[in-house]
């Protein structure tokens, strides 16, 4: 998909409909902007409920606590 958008005089960009629909993004959703070289990666901020269980089965043997930091 190759779509473009133009930065307005108020420094706003409208996300093209095709992108919003494909990504299932909705109005009011919060996003994070991550600088990458000369561009920016735009990603939705996950909701807390979506992060539940993300580390299930993780190896805890090499875990460092705050007390272990220098």
Per-residue pLDDT of the chain (70 residues; tens, 9 = 90+): 678 999 999 999 999 999 999 999 999 999 999 999 999 999 999 888 888 888 888 887 877 777 766 6
Residue among 44, 14, 50, 16 nearest 29 (CA) = 44
Query: Cβ-count burial of 17 within 10 angstroms (0-12 exposed, 13-18 middle, 19+ buried)?
Result: exposed
Say if pTM beats, i.e. exceeds, 0.85: no
């Amino acid at each position: 998909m190759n779509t473009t958008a133009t930065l307005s005089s108020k420094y706003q960009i409208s996300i093209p409909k095709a992108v919003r629909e494909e990504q299932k993004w909705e109005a009011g959703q919060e996003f994070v902007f991550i600088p990458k070289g000369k561009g920016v990666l735009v990603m939705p901020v996950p909701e807390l409920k979506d992060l539940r269980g993300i580390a299930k089965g993780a190896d805890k043997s090499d875990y460092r606590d705050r007390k272990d930091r220098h």
